[in-house]
Structure 1
Amino acid sequence: MTILAPLLRSSVQTWECDDMGHMNVQFYVAKANEGLDVLAHHLGFGPTQARTPGNGAGTAGAILLPREHHIRFHREQRPGAPLTLEGSVTGREGDTLKVYEELTNTASGVVAATINADVVLADAATRARLALPGVMDEAIDNMMTDVPPHGQARGLEMGPAVDAPALAQADDMGLVYTWQGVVKPAQCDMHGFMLQQHFMGLVSDSIPNLLSQTRGDDRSSDPNIGGAALEYRFVYRQWPRVGDILTLRSGLKHVGPKTYTWAHWMFDVETGKAVATAEAVAVTLDLVARRAIGIPDAMRAHLESKLVPGIGA
């Protein structure tokens, strides 16, 4: 049985939507992370507790921080849609919590997205991991629930994450150069760390360059055809800061009748180290009918020639 606690109630703003006309993937991450702050309150570790010096747990200024996300996008949400987010704990491995969150359309009750996260407690100012305080133990046990079938992974394999790649390795494998830029203050929290929604946002920003180099597409020339993500797995490996230069390399892992699976590797240009790896299942979207369309045979043959063996998140 799945029992979820109330976390957020909000709506889709126009500025949260992209050229597909629906809420962009990065804002699902933003809402999920905001929901974690509320979940901490339900676990007996609310904002007052976190801010109190000398609370005996060494956790003043601590936050719940996802180290991995799995997100399924069930129904697109368009401007003005009312949203409700609920969540709970589904497991514990030492000081790592398994957290499940479910975003629904408040009016219809239809599930918009499901989010599973591996979550740790961390010092907000340094990102150093902390032990879960004893004050949470009973509340964690009381909030344990099951992940419902529709919240499970569907198109992605959720095995162990790949070893952290290096930028040189990505280039040797022939991954496509899809994005590069500098981390801006507006993308960071008060301590100068890039917010997790922007990991997803940078990948989203890269997609037009990715498609232009792998399929020859230019979405700006065809307003009737777009794309949509169905499922994402994100593994966060480092925490970029203001002024860091990031670059993205992407490759095609799998091509199916309607879907294709991309892998995205994000690196710090200065160090060459991976800051995140991700996989995404995506479809081509008819923006008039608002439905997925199949991949033409000629396009599939072209995409299959771009497959990169051994790539993943």
Structure 2
Amino acid sequence: MPALETLLSFVNTWECDENDHLNVQFYFAKFEEADRQFRLLTGFSDAVAGPRRVRHVRYHAELRSAVPIKIRSYIAFDGPHMLSVVHEMIETSTNEISATAIDGYTPNQSAAKQLRTRFKDVEDTMNAKANPRGVSPSPFVGKPTIDDLTSNGSTVTCRGTVLSRDVTPEGKADDGFAIGLISDAVSHAWERTPMKTSWLDENYYGRIAMEQKLTWISPLKTGDAVVVLSSFTGVQNNVFSLRHHIYESRTNRLAAVCDMVALTMDLEKRSIVPIENDVREKILSLQAS
């Protein structure tokens, strides 16, 4: 099998959230580490394929505390990008895929044949489970200002600072930091709907992410203060979508954008809770135009 084993890890209790499963920021952090190992093992780099344009994660099954996990990584040329590095997170005890990540690259077209030859030993057909479903695979484009967003219904949902523990060896804020901000921001977005914390607690429900796509626009470094603005972008019978913009606060520079699909989960039954009509109507009224 061409895929390489790029991570052997474990779900620690301190990595789990109020829903008693692995928090999304640690999925991204573990995919980030798997990608570092993949690059080390294969010689894959930005110099070879250009910078990563997007990381697209889908969550397929819950990972509860105290379970061992592994990640398998490979290159696919049949995915939604010209070149994709695909990571599959697997619960070792059951051998079931718990999450997948697609790292999308757009190398020079003239280099495609050379890349196929260079990485033929780690090339495979992309697992259908990794295909984007509720979020477009394309990287976010555009540079809206904070004023643009607030005038169109977005609200501030999080503020924070990049600390030394949040950066990569290259000195840039990592995916785990960005998704950690989003994880905190989401609760404030939900408070704008009837699905408030009091309602969730009363019914023993939880906030769940099903899919997330992270696009870095510009880097953040240690000491940078950041602000997150969130907006609703769609709603269906069981799920709704949001977009989160992360800005560097001093200059109001757009740093990253995260699109996501969310739902409510019954924490006792571990099942999806359908969205009631009044909730759907409220989300529609909040949706950015």
Does TM, scored on the shorter chain, surpass 0.5?
yes
Per the normalisation by structure 1, the TM-score is 0.81
Name the counterpart of 2:38: 39
- The SS at the match of 1:262 is strand
Q: Is the 8 A contact 1:17 1:78 kept in 2?
A: yes
Q: Is the 8 A contact 2:263 2:273 kept in 1?
A: yes
Letter in 2 for 1:193: K
Match runs of 1:1-313 below 5 Å? 3-44=2-43, 66-91=52-77, 97-118=83-104, 138-159=117-138, 161-215=140-194, 217-218=196-197, 221-222=201-202, 224-309=204-289
**C-alpha separation in 2, matches of 1:223 and 1:65:** 44
Aligned residues of 1:9 and 1:83 also touching (Cα < 8 A): yes
Alignment gaps of 5+ in structure 2: none
Return the letter of the residue paired with 2:274. Answer: G
Alignment check: 8 A CA contact 2:160 2:225 kept: yes
Residues matched between the structures, number:
281
How big is the shift at 1:222?
Answer: 3.8
Structure 1 gaps, min length 5: 51-58, 122-131
* Aligned mates of 1:231, 1:139 — CA distance in 2: 31
Alpha carbons of structure 1 residues 160 and 68: separation in structure 2 relative to 1, 3 Å: closer
Letter in 1 for 2:4: A
Post-superposition offset of 1:183 = 1.6
Instruction: Tell me how large the CA RMSD over aligned residues is.
Output: 2.9
More helix by share: 2
* Whole-angstrom CA distance in 1 between matches of 2:169 and 2:70: 27
SS in 1 for 2:189: helix
- Show CA shifts across 1:154-207 (max 9, x none): 111224523122222112212021001222222223554212211111000111
Tell me, in whole angstroms, the C-alpha distance in 2 between the residues paired with 1:281 and 1:84: 25
- AA aligned opposite 1:144: E
Between 186-195 and 254-263, the greater mean CA deviation after superposition: 186-195
Once the two structures are TM-superposed, the CA of residue 118 in structure 1 deviates from its matched residue by: 2.3
TM-score, normalization by structure 2:
0.88
Structure 1 residues 32 and 140: alpha-carbon distance in aligned structure 2, compared to 1, 3 A threshold: same
**Residue 255 of structure 1: CA displacement?**
0.6
Q: CA deviation at 1:285?
A: 0.8
